[in-house]
Amino acid sequence: MHEILYKLNNEQCEAVQYNKGPLLVLAGAGSGKTRVITHKILYLIKELGIQAKHIAAITFTNKAAAEMQERISKMSVGISTRGLVICTFHALGLKIIREEALSLGYKKNFSLLDSYDSGKIISDITQTTDKSLLRMIQTKISLWKNSFVSPEKAVSISSDEADLVHAKIYQQYQDTLTAYQALDFDDLIRLPVELFENNLAILHKWQLKIRYLLVDEYQDTNNCQYRLIKLLAGTNGLFTAVGDDDQSIYAWRGANSENLNILATDYKLLKIIKLEQNYRSTSTILNAANQVIKNNPKLFDKKLWSEFGAGSPIKIYSYANDEAEADSIARKVMLQQLHLNNKFSDYAILYRSNFQARVLEQAFRNYKIPYTISGGQSFFDKAEIKDIMAYLRLIVNEDDDLAFIRAITTPKRGIGATTLDKLSKYATFRNISMFEALFETGFAQDCNNTQLESLINFGEFINEFQFKQDKAPAGELLAELLRKINYETYLFESEEEKNAQKRLANLNSFVEWLSKKGESDNKSLIELSQMVALINLLDGNSKDEVDAVKMTTLHASKGLEYPYVFLISCEEGILPHQESINNNAIEEERRLMYVGITRAQQELNVSFCEQRRKAGSVETREQSRFIEEMGEFNITNEAARKSAKINDQIELMDKFNQLKSLIKK
């Protein structure tokens, strides 16, 4: 037993050893919740004699499950863990459904649909391809299922005509799934709950299978997930739920932080143990986090503390605009990395929404700082960027068939798939590129005149830009290219106006950046194309273990930690989000701020902008209320920032010169 409890603090030991009934472990950020769960699993097996096959640890992500499994494997020498279940909620649900398919009215070989498949069914029902509308209906159906609301009940509780329409779509959708013998993601929790509530014999069978249940990130459970936990745990409540009400940030996808309160109501003998000692951050960082979160009404009083000492002060910066903010952060990362010889992966940039990554990416590319993006799509992965890059790739290298196909079909030129298939086969036969093949007489004989004319026109269009690429500035050529292919018109004809405007803004930003790079670095179109291609290759090969700065949304950062954190764009309307301000729903936004602060181990930098460009106009911004709530910190002003920039540049040059001299030696 000594080995299992080794290096655990008093509260962690108590949580591991408690087995008299239901237990709620309130685990603050960085307080060692995964350690408690893994040690408790081994304690249950070794000290209480519960067979591993009767224990289930439930997580929310595959990554968390894998980490837990890895820790158990390293610690369980001499302890049999055969049959131990460590998986996500949905994986457990799937396991139950597979075993009980016939009782649920499904064949053993039922289909599991992904989001695209589900969206296609809804599209067929509604006879619309409007992506935003389809996403909204999908979300609505998902929330109904997660709240255990059947299609019939959704119809009966509809408060207005729109709700009723959506409920009827839900009804048709579910009928279609049944007819297809198919399940969607949310059914993986809903159906086991439905089965257990209607068939006590099967419920009893699974209660005998899972005699002790451990639940990670309990604050993120939705109503349906809680019902599943309650059914499996039974009246004795042999479970340990680990969670933190201060980190409940997923209400938008159905999570219900009230489940923490409900637990205490449903289980009168519930034991509560608080883990307040933090093993991640300095006391300065934790004090700021505590100051912010105390402004929320508390389900359970809790205050994080650390033995790491005060550490570095928190720095708060005010910037003129988002470009200045991004440039300054990039410089700070580069300078500090050179000074301290840190890894780039020691740094994280955290933001509220995915759109904020765009200007950061540009700044980091300018300083040649490696980065990865999570929690959103990389700028270079956007369709509009890939479309234009296809043209650039083809202009630079006419042998690039993949670029050829994308460019010639976007925008459409009346060239059908049959013609392109013929061209591809001819090119393969001749062992030449599709671009070269379209000019050959042999292919012309096998192609009708209309299609051939379109192909030749496209080929000559590319030839024109090939001729110009060394004779005109890159920015000028790009602008001309966009005009001549009528890409803006194509966007507005193929997309909703809002999406088209967003994509056009992305494209303009990309062109502007390439133009500036062409001018400042004296790069030709060929060099720029190669530079972007290299960035794409690096992005494509990016993994978590790569030495690169992590850019991520606050939601995606949960559970992660970094020595140096930049929490950016902390402005009213962004963090907290404008919608939460309008709906008087600030509490979850404050928890999001708390999550961001507590990702930092050693240093935390917080920033906001005084102005921000939006829809072609410049808006004045106010610093987030959460900055003031953090406590007394000095805000770095404009003059100090300009002076710092000059000093940074001098220091950077000194460092680069030192490196150059070392290389020469």
Q: Select which of 40, 190, 599, 612 is catalytic.
A: 599
Q: Select which of 11, 100, 186, 216 is catalytic.
A: 216
Q: Say whether 247 is catalytic.
A: yes
Three-state DSSP class for 57? strand
Contact 183, 113 (CB under 8 A): yes
Distance CA 405, CA 410 (A): 9
Q: Say whether 641 is catalytic.
A: no
DSSP 104: G
Host H or E run for residue 603? strand 600-609
Distance CA 360, CA 357 (A): 5
Q: Select which of 14, 17, 34, 51 is catalytic.
A: 34
Q: What does the block give as tokens for 445?
A: 């004989």
Instruction: Name which of 38, 409, 267 is nearest 15 in CA terms.
Output: 38
Instruction: Name which of 186, 96, 223, 143 is nearest 177 in CA terms.
Output: 186
Task: Give the β-pairing of 111-112 and 271-275.
Answer: unpaired
Q: For residue 348, count other CB atoms closer than 10 A to its CB.
A: 22
∠163-167-169 over CA atoms, to 5°? 120
Instruction: Please state at what angle helix 525-540 crosses helix 383-396, rounded to 10 degrees.
Output: 130
Q: Select which of 11, 186, 217, 346 is catalytic.
A: 217
- Residue with the two structure tokens 């950016």: 568
Distance of CA 549 to the CA centre of its chain: 15
Distance CA 492, CA 489 (A): 5
Distance CA 462, CA 483 (A): 14
38: left (phi over 0), alpha (psi -120 to 50) or beta: alpha
At 586, phi and psi to the nearest 5?
Answer: -85, -25
Q: For residue 257, count other CB atoms closer than 10 A to its CB.
A: 23
Q: What does the block give as tokens for 360?
A: 């950061």
Contact 629, 61 (CB under 8 A): no
Q: What does the block give as tokens for 597?
A: 């602060």
Instruction: Name which of 32, 38, 43 is nearest 275 in CA terms.
Output: 32
Distance CA 172, CA 168 (A): 6
Q: Say whether 227 is catalytic.
A: no
Distance CA 258, CA 82 (A): 35
Distance CA 657, CA 663 (A): 10
> What pairs with residue 212 in β-bridges?
55
Task: Give the β-pairing of 617-620 and 611-614.
Answer: antiparallel
Instruction: Name which of 177, 151, 147, 148 is nearest 163 in CA terms.
Output: 151
> What pairs with residue 604 in β-bridges?
565
DSSP 381: G
Three-state DSSP class for 497? helix
Distance CA 180, CA 158 (A): 27
> What pairs with residue 566 in β-bridges?
349, 605
Instruction: Name which of 557, 541, 564 is nearest 595 in CA terms.
Output: 557
369 to 247, 362, 523: CA distances (angstroms)? 31, 10, 19
Q: Select which of 247, 282, 410, 451 is catalytic.
A: 247
Contact 630, 606 (CB under 8 A): yes
Q: Say whether 161 is catalytic.
A: no
Three-state DSSP class for 368? coil
Question: Which residues are annotated as catalytic?
Answer: 33-34, 216-217, 247, 599
